[in-house]
Amino acid sequence: MSPQIESPSNRRILDTARLKQRRQRDRTGRFLIEGARETQRAIAAGVSIVEAFVCRAYTSPDTVALVDALDNAQVQTTTVSASAFDKLSLRTGPDGIVAVAATWEAGIESLTADLLLVAEAIEKPGNLGAMLRTADAAGAGLVIADPTVDPFNPNVVRASQGSLFSTPFAVADSPSAIAWLRDRGSLLVATPDASTVYWDAVMTGPTAIVVGSEHAGVGQAWLKAGLPIRIPMAGAVDSLNASVSAALALFEAVRQRRP
């Protein structure tokens, strides 16, 4: 373990903190993983951990065990003061570890799951992270179409609770995704104006479920390519949160596929 860094103005701390910005992640091919649980899941999934920063003032028993594992794996681990760690952290009540990992790319052709969630132009990191968790729980893959949010955004990593590392996902533009998905099975597109209720759609075969952006919903290209489905609404609101809509539709597919 390296000597402690005290100053939040230390060059290594400042350079690492810049990974909160997409431009820096794209430039360096690295991103931040905060939290012992998330870092453990990244390691279990074979994600390349470049280095880690640990603050003893915040550590939990899980963090201590993880630091030992990182040391045994010869990952450079640096202790930092609370003020330096706060420069890296995005959490209230952190558990004292931030890891730096290498990003990766996966083409849409690499997805093999016969149940897929398509997240089109999702704008909020929390929603994209929740969709990763839901896809993981449902045993589905994820297509991030026309991404507004980078999947390696620290808030996506946090909201996914490490599902980023266990959920097969790919990033693609909508025309490429539509062309690839159209001949693979059912393409169901969630929209409030559809005539088909989502539980009446057949999801027993290869199925992709498309959920659009929080503000605009799904694009016209998706609506033309697939079967529009809706979630019936009994109250005054006309739609649900994007990640909630994704969860309902995915688990309807899971229900239909049960033995």
Domains, the chain, with CATH or none: 2-102 (3.30.1330.30), 108-256 (3.40.1280.10)
In this prediction, residue 2 carries a pLDDT of 62
Q: Which amino acid is at 128?
A: L
Is 3 a residue whose pLDDT tops 80?
Answer: no
pLDDT in tens, 163-206: 999 999 999 999 999 999 988 999 999 999 999 999 999 999 99
Query: Distance (Å, rounded) from C-alpha 138 to C-alpha 161?
Result: 15
Which tops the pLDDT comparison, 146 or 216?
146
Residue 113 tokens read as 């799951």
> DSSP code of 163?
G
pLDDT in tens, 62-105: 898 899 889 888 999 999 999 999 999 999 999 999 999 999 99
Q: Give me the percent of the chain exceeding a pLDDT of 90.
A: 88
In this prediction, residue 183 carries a pLDDT of 87
Query: Mean per-residue pLDDT for 1-10?
Result: 86
The strand ranges marked E within the chain are: 2-5, 30-34, 49-54, 76-80, 97-102, 115-120, 141-145, 169-172, 186-190, 196-197, 207-211, 227-230
pLDDT in tens, 105-139: 989 999 999 999 999 999 999 999 999 999 999 99
Residue 203 tokens read as 């999801």
